[in-house]
Amino acid sequence: MNTQSTVQGTTKPVIVTVQQHILSEQRRHSPQATGTFSWLLSGITLATKMTESRVRRAGLLDVIGAAGNVNVQGEAQQKLDVYADDALVHCLGIRDNVAIIASEENEQAIAFDGRSGPGKYVVVFDPLDGSSNIDVNVSVGTIFSVLRMPEDLRESDDPAQAVLQPGVKQLAAGYVVYGSSTIMVYSTGHGVHGFTLDPSIGAYVLSHEDIRMPEQGKYYSSNDAYWDTFPQAYQDYLSYLRRGELGRSYALRYIGSLVADFHRTLLRGGVFLYPPTDANPQGKLRLLYEANPVAFIAQQAGGYATDGHQNILDIVPQDIHQRTPLIVGGKSEMEAFERFMKRDELAGSLAG
Ligand code: AHM
Ligand code: MG
C-alpha cells in the first residue's frame, strides 16, 4: 500500500478500506453528494464477501455442482450461481436507494418498492462469472454496473426499460475476482482502483491505486479452439500478433472466466477477444453486465473496448440479456485491431 501518514513524526502506512475510499472520492468529486452511493456500494461489497466465503469453502460445503435449474441463457445453474445471485438481490434489496436490478440469473429485471423513498439507482450484475470453473478450482468473479434511475421511467410498468441504457451512462462499474486472493476493482469515472480482501479483518483494503493499463502488453486472450469459426479479420489480426509484427511476440493466456482474463489484461496489458463464432454469431458475452462494466473500466484505465464495429459503451441495448462480441485491451493492440477491421470493411465494400 502506498498511502503513508505522518503521526507525531513517524511515517506509518494507512489502511484505506473501500468504504473510506468511496467516501473520500465523493468528497473530492461531488461535495454535494449525500452518501447514498457509498451505501449502495457497501451492499455490493457485503454480497461479494458472502459469496467469497462460500467460494473459499467450495470443496467442503455442499455447494459444488449443478442446482438443477437452467438460467435464461439456457445454461445449467450452479449452486454457487444461485447463492451469489441471492446474496446480491438480498443485499441490494435492503438498500432503499436501489430502484431496479437485473441479473444474469433472472430473466426479468426486478423493481423494488414500498420503501422510504424513490430509489436513485439501477444495478445490473453477473453474480458469478465463469461458474463452470468452480468445480476445478479456477478463478471466478462477480461483475456489476451502476446506472441512474431515469426519472421519466418511474411510472413505467416495465422495469427492463430503465436497465436498457448504453454503457456510456454508467455511474460506476466494477468486479471482484475470487482468485489466489480476492480483489475488488471499481471505477466511478475517476480512475480505476483495486482493493484486496484482507481475510483477517474482513475488509477490502486499497492495494492498487489508480490502475493504468499498459499501452502494449505481451498476451492475447481468446478461445483458440474456435479459431476456424472466427471471422477472417480476427484470424488475420491474431496471426499478426502471433508473428510478432506489432513489435513483440505475443503469448496466449486464456482462463475461460472473463473477470480473470480481463483482470490480467488490465494489469499486464494485451488484448482479450470473444469474437462472433459459428456457435455464437452475436458473440457470447452479455452486453449489460459483462461487456459494459469491463469496457468502462478499460476506458478509465487508458484502454478501450469494441464489438468490432463500435465502442462497446455506445451500443444502445435492446434486451437485458443481449450478447455482443467483445474485444478489449490496451491502446496499441486495440488500434491494430481496428486497422484490421477497417481493412476488412474496405475490402468488403470494394468487392460488393
Ligand atoms: P458465465 O459463467 O457468466 O456464463 O460467463 C461466460 C464465460 C465467461 O466468463 C468467459 O469469458 C466465457 O464464458 C468463456 O467461454 P468459452 O468457454 O466459450 O471460451
Ligand atoms: Mg459471466
Counting ligand 1 atoms within 8 A of each CB, the residue from 131, 143, 258 with the most, and so the one to mutate, is 258
Q: How far apart are CA 147 and CA 123, in angstroms?
A: 6
Whether residue 115 is predicted with pLDDT greater than 60 in this model: the reply is no
CB of 348 within 6 A of ligand 1: the answer is no
- Same-domain pairing of 279 and 200: no
Q: What is the pLDDT of residue 35?
A: 78
Q: Once rounded to an integer, what is the mean pLDDT over residues 275-297?
A: 98
Alpha helices of the chain — where are they, by DSSP H?
A: 18-29, 36-56, 79-93, 160-163, 232-242, 258-268, 292-300, 331-351
Residue 231 domain-assigned (yes or no): yes
Q: What is the pLDDT of residues 66-79, one digit of tens each?
A: 766 776 666 666 78
Q: 267 lies in which domain range? A: 219-351
Distances (CA, A) of 300 to 18, 57, 155, 260, 266: 18, 34, 34, 18, 11
In a domain, 179, yes or no: yes
| Domain match, 187 and 251 both | no
pLDDT per position as a tens digit, 121-180? 999 999 999 988 888 889 999 999 999 999 888 878 888 999 999 999 999 999 999 999
* Whole-number pLDDT of residue 1: 46
Q: Ligand 1 centre from 275 Cα, in Å?
A: 12
Residue 65 lies inside a defined structural domain of this protein: yes
Quick one: which ligand is closest to 254's CA?
Answer: 1
191 plus 223 within the same structural domain: no
pLDDT at 348: 79
Sole residue written with cell 462460500: 54
Task: Write down which residue in 208, 231, 257 finishes a domain.
Answer: 208
Average pLDDT of 176-190? 96
Mutate to test the pocket of ligand 1, among 129, 321, 324 (most ligand atoms within 8 A of CB): 129
What is the pLDDT of the chain when averaged over all its residues? 91
Q: How far apart are CA 184 and CA 234, in angstroms?
A: 31
Same-domain check for residues 174 and 291: no
Q: Among 159, 186, 208, where does a domain finish?
A: 208
Alpha-carbon distance of 146 to 292, in angstroms, equals 10
Amino acid at 225: A
Chain centre distance of CA 216 = 21
- Give me the pLDDT at residue 2, please: 47
- With 0.85 as the threshold, say if the pTM is over it: yes
- Answer yes or no: do 28 and 113 share one domain: yes
* Predicted local distance difference test score (pLDDT) of residue 257: 97
At 351, is the pLDDT very low, low, confident or very high (cuts 50, 70, 90)? Answer: confident
Average pLDDT of span 43-50: 96
**C-beta of 283 in contact with ligand 1 (< 6 A):** no
pLDDT in tens, 78-104: 788 899 999 999 999 888 889 999 999
pLDDT at residue 117 tops 70: no
| Domain end (from 169, 187, 208) | 208
For residue range 221-271, what is the model confidence (pLDDT) as tens digits? 999 999 999 999 999 999 999 999 999 989 999 999 999 999 999 999 999
258 C-beta closer than 6 A to ligand 1: yes
Nearest alpha carbon, ligand 1 atom 3: 129
**Cα(254) to centroid of ligand 1, in Å?**
11
> Would residue 213 count as lying in a domain?
no
Percentage with pLDDT > 70 across the chain = 91
Which listed ligand is nearest to 265 at the C-alpha? 1
Domain count, the chain: 2
CATH of the domain at 140: 3.30.540.10
**Separation of CA 92 from chain center:** 18
256 alpha carbon – ligand 1 mean position (Å) = 6
CA of 130 to the centre of ligand 2 (A): 6
Confidence of residue 9 (pLDDT cuts 50, 70, 90): low
Q: Is the CB–ligand 1 distance for residue 131 below 6 Å?
A: yes
Is ligand 1 within 6 A of the CB of residue 223?
Answer: yes
User: What pLDDT is stored for residue 227 in this prediction?
Assistant: 97
The three cell numbers of residue 25 are: 472520492
**Over 90: is that where the pLDDT of 7 sits?**
no
3-state SS string for 222-286: CCHHHHHHCCHHHHHHHHHHHCCCCCCCCEECCCCCHHHHHHHHHHHCCEEEECCCCCCCCCCEE
**160 and 189 housed in the same domain:** yes
Cα 202 to Cα 262: distance, rounded to the nearest angstrom: 25
Query: 257, 142 in Cβ contact below 8 A?
Result: no
pLDDT over 80 at 4, yes or no: no
Establish if 12 belongs to a structural domain: yes
Shared domain check, 173 and 274? no
- Contact call for residues 102 and 160 (beta carbons, < 8 A): yes
Kindly tell me if the per-residue pLDDT of 321 is higher than 80: yes
pLDDT number for residue 125: 98
How far apart are alpha carbons 141 and 156 in whole angstroms? 32
Residue nearest to atom 6 of ligand 1 (CA): 130
Same domain, 174 and 248: no
pLDDT in tens, 329-341: 999 999 999 999 9
Looking at all shown ligands, the one closest to residue 326's CA atom is: 1
Grid cell at residue 54: 462460500
Closest ligand 1 atom, residue 274 Cα: 11
Comparison of pLDDT for 267 and 22, the residue scoring more: 267
